[in-house]
Amino acid sequence: MTAFDTILRGGHLVDGAGTEPWRGDLGIIGGRIAAIGDLRSAEAGRIVDATGRYVLPGFVDAHAHADALLGEPRVQEAYLRQGVTSVIVGQDGLSFAPSNTASSSWVERYFAAVNGPAPQPLAGGGSIAEFLDGLDRSGALNAASLIPAGLVRATVMGVSDRPATPAELRRMVEYVDLAMDEGAVGLSTGLDYVPGGFADTAELIELARPVGERGGVYVSHLRGYARDRIHDSLLEAGHIAARSGAAGHASHLHGPADVLENAFEAVEREYGVQLSFDSYPYLRGSTILAMLVLPGSIQSGGADATLARLGDPEVRRMLRDEAFPSNWRLDSIRLSYLSAPELRWAEGLGLREAAERFPGDLVDFCCEALIACDLAVGCVVDNGADRTESDIRRMLGHPGQMASSDAIFLGSAPHPRGWGAFARLLGRHVRELGDWTWGAAARHLAGHAAERFRLPDRGVLVTGAIADVAVLDPETVVDHSDYEHPTRPATGVDHVIVGGEFALDGGVITGSKAGRALRPADGTHPS
């Protein structure tokens, strides 16, 4: 009889394909699932009693900002204690590769409050291949990467508020083409950020064509999420997907459910495209302060140009008289991260509260804080008063939904979603509210994302699949992070196995470095 490396015995298996829990054993050999069924008489190097537990495929975070932080113990613990084994990085059109010296330096400053500093090998620029190589075995978590379209644009033409020339567009397409060959799973855009917002639809279609040719995904932080814009934003995403041949996906989608559902129907009716999307179970979001308070024209030309404008009295007058009075989000902004040590006192305070403790008015505080922090100011903000928990719950039932955290791990007052999104979906939305069955939960948290992003042999419990597995207590799994205590880890997950190795063992982090860089055509790992 076959001897297994590990057997998980006596649990209920939830396979990630939508099947409801059923009693069975799971045997692992050489990092892969070797058998599923009745293994009571089988031998193994280790047998784990999973009685009373659910055994699920390791969860996939479809939208994460751990690009430079994946190997940090606190990040790994945040994810492992929720059962997450794989993340998709390179989001919002802004990451670290592919880049050159100038664009690497710029994005490291502009998006510092989200992704942190560039990994050292990419500090002067680098390729997707180099980025993925750096992620491989950096810790316990697997990672796949998108190609950030905004970074590609900055690499070719700087942070310019103008259309690309034909030669520039050809060069950008070459970057995308090569990055797909090097193992990216798709293309991401950040159309509320710079320079992504400067790109028109025609440019994005051309950039997405090499993605479509290789079966990849076009992933978009849309061109606006407000009620009056979300319909057109989703139509643009559908148009780009249809014309490029890429699968279309909307990032961290939130909004009134009736508006979103109508938009999805319109996309399918007009373009024949079924968009997927990821979402998290919170009514607040998190981003950089510059995106929320500065018009795109002020951010054109790069970080130095932006900082120079912020010191201009005429620019501050314009912000004071025009931009800030029309900005409905100002009252809900809470500061989460300020890179300047002398301003760390403001982390956790509301924007207006912090400004009251600072010389000058609200505009002066924002400008001076952005200057002192070299733009690296992060915040938590309401997504809008016109969206409710009932909208979140309704959209969880949409067949295109998959789970994400949109986690940002910087600052002393971050959004709690990085430490709680997946556990909250299980504890509140499955166990308490019944928004998903356990079978549906495994599909939304693992199987769907693994399928959409073509993660080889992951997201499901089937013979031959790589053994990324979470073992949890369905009666106790719960999130503990909230806006006042955002970094408290979840509980209720007993074991997490990555590539056959225990990364969380009886609630103890093992220090495993079994995490792999995931490429869509690579079905050979672990090796």
Q: Note the pLDDT tens digit of each residue in 19-39.
A: 999 999 999 999 999 999 999
Are both 98 and 224 inside the same structural domain? yes
The position carrying tokens 């390791």 is: 58
Given a cut of 90, whether residue 526 has pLDDT beyond it is no
Are both 244 and 154 inside the same structural domain? yes
Per residue in 142-201, pLDDT (tens digit) is 999 999 999 999 999 999 999 999 999 999 999 999 999 999 999 999 999 999 999 999
Given a cut of 90, whether residue 525 has pLDDT beyond it is no
Which residue segment(s) compose the domain that 112 sits in?
Answer: 92-250
Which domain-ending residue is among 194, 226, 250?
Answer: 250
Are both 106 and 224 inside the same structural domain? yes
Are both 195 and 59 inside the same structural domain? no
Are both 437 and 503 inside the same structural domain? yes
Are both 180 and 101 inside the same structural domain? yes
Given a cut of 90, whether residue 51 has pLDDT beyond it is yes
Does any domain span residue 131? yes
What value does the mean pLDDT take over residues 89-100?
98
Tally of residues, the chain: 527
Are both 66 and 97 inside the same structural domain? no
| CA dist., res. 460 & res. 378, Å (int) | 36
CATH number at 208 reads: 3.20.20.140
Does any domain span residue 279? no
Q: What is the DSSP string of 204-236?
A: HHHHHHHHHHTT-EEEEE-S--SHHHHHHHHHH
Are both 102 and 222 inside the same structural domain? yes
Per residue in 327-350, pLDDT (tens digit) is 999 999 999 999 999 999 999 999
| Rg of the Cα atoms in the chain | 22
The position carrying tokens 């607040």 is: 284
Are both 462 and 435 inside the same structural domain? yes
Number of domains in the chain: 3
Are both 225 and 370 inside the same structural domain? no
Are both 202 and 232 inside the same structural domain? yes
Per residue in 235-261, pLDDT (tens digit) is 999 999 999 999 999 999 999 999 999
* Tokens matching residue 380: 């938590």
Whether pTM > 0.75 for this model: the answer is yes
